[in-house]
Amino acid sequence: MDLEKTLLHKVGEAIHRFKMIRDGDRVAVALSGGKDSATMLEALLLLQKRAPIDFSVVSFTVEQGKFLRPIEPIGEYLKQRGIPWTYFRDDPSMRLLEEQPDHGCDLCSRYRRRAVYEIARDLGVNVIAFGHTADDFCEALLRNTMFTGRLSSLPPVTWSRNKDYRLIRPLCFVTEDITTAYAESMGVPVIPCGCSQRTGTVRRALRDMFAELEREHPHLKETMLSAMGNVDTSRLLDPRFLNVEAETEAHELFPIVTEM
């Protein structure tokens, strides 16, 4: 299957399965400067032409002072292609960077979220699309399981707190080998973020672990994605999903011998 067909098939499947986009929606694509969100924008524009429903697409980028190169090439690329783009320099994020240069991801994301909602309100959209990929979903599943004690990944679709915006992740089935190849084939300018080059992080360790395992098991992430859609709650330890009473009855039928 060619690259574009594979991409559209996977994005289409996500949109359909999780009812991400509906008739009359106005979708804002969050462009991070990377290959993933740029690929997502292209996919949504292609699907927009083919879909039986009517929806519009705009794009925006939040400047938080982390880009390693000027962002202008993205603006030029989008302008040439006639895609509406808003560049938003978030002053509170810039101040945060100055005052607390070592701030973590939690604070950074909180600032970004506030800025994103502000832009979305100005743009008059009701849906915001984020470029998290299948790789991000797999990493989040392992990270949450190993470090937060929750068996969870990322929501493919959710709502902002006041339900003003539907938040969607149409690349949840798309792995980064696809976004890398597609962005390259389209000649999309990629503006790296300083954080993506950090070493010694949990994220980097998980990425390295995947790379190592995938040498022997190339379909590892696809299998993990299937697992996330095929949960066997009877083989986990959460009593909310277990029929504990029935288990008790079974033990009464077959009592465990504890004394000789």
Residues making contact with ligand SF4 (CB under 6 A): 66, 105, 108-109, 193, 195
In the bound complex, what is the minimum distance in angstroms from residue 109's beta carbon to ligand SF4? 5
Nearer Cβ to ligand SF4, position 57 or 90? 90
For residue 169, what are its two tokens?
């992740």
In the bound complex, what is the minimum distance in angstroms from residue 77's beta carbon to ligand SF4? 21
Q: Give me the residue whose beta carbon is nearest to ligand SF4.
A: 195
Nearer Cβ to ligand SF4, position 26 or 66? 66
In the bound complex, what is the minimum distance in angstroms from residue 53's beta carbon to ligand SF4? 32
For residue 245, what are its two tokens?
């009473």
Nearer Cβ to ligand SF4, position 108 or 186? 108
Nearer Cβ to ligand SF4, position 108 or 142? 108
Nearer Cβ to ligand SF4, position 26 or 113? 113
Kind and range of the H or E run holding 30: strand 26-30
In the bound complex, what is the minimum distance in angstroms from residue 17's beta carbon to ligand SF4? 27
Say if CB 44 and CB 199 are below 8 A apart. no
Say if CB 200 and CB 50 are below 8 A apart. no
Kind and range of the H or E run holding 157: strand 157-159
Query: How many angstroms separate the CA atoms of 16 and 10, rounded?
Result: 10
Pairing type for strands 166-168 and 157-159 reads antiparallel
In the bound complex, what is the minimum distance in angstroms from residue 107's beta carbon to ligand SF4? 8
Cα–Cα–Cα angle for 158, 179, 18, rounded to 5 degrees: 25
For residue 37, what are its two tokens?
């969100």
Query: How many angstroms separate the CA atoms of 160 and 156, rounded?
Result: 13
Nearer Cβ to ligand SF4, position 111 or 182? 111
Cα–Cα–Cα angle for 133, 180, 33, rounded to 5 degrees: 75
* Among 31, 73, 66, 2, residue whose Cα is nearest residue 171: 31
In the bound complex, what is the minimum distance in angstroms from residue 36's beta carbon to ligand SF4? 13
In the bound complex, what is the minimum distance in angstroms from residue 23's beta carbon to ligand SF4? 33
The helix/strand/coil state of 33 is coil
Nearer Cβ to ligand SF4, position 142 or 193? 193
